[in-house]
Amino acid sequence: MKISNGTLNYINQTYTNPANTAAGKNQKSEKTAEEAANGTQADSINLSGRTKALQKISTAMETDPAGREKYVADIKQKVETNQYNVNAEAVAERFLNSHINEIL
């Protein structure tokens, strides 16, 4: 596929013109609302959807899941009393599947 200079100019104009982006549209509407309210311009920040999702994940990782402490305490107690049994076949199957997926 050949890209001509006209196409490159169109692409550059599209990405440099804030009116063509969602962020540019949001900034325009926020500025006009704030300017109407107090007559001054204010700084604003717009986060992408991906950034907002990452913030939610980060917050969720900081909190412990419900019942996790009890689960860990039960396993510790089983290990200490030699009642914890590991299914070697299940471990081997998961190990092999994870390595096969990495190779493929």
Q: What is the mean pLDDT of each run of 10 residues along the chain (104 residues)?
A: 55 58 51 60 81 87 81 93 92 90 75
Residue 13's pLDDT is what? 62
Distance CA 78, CA 82 (A): 6
Residue 69's pLDDT is what? 86
**DSSP-assigned states of every residue in 28-90:** HHHHHHHHHHHSS--------HHHHHHHHHHHHHHSPPTTHHHHHHHHHHHHHTT-----HHH
Residue 37's pLDDT is what? 63
Residue 4's pLDDT is what? 56
Residue 49's pLDDT is what? 86
Residue 89's pLDDT is what? 94
Residue 100 corresponds to which amino acid?
Answer: I
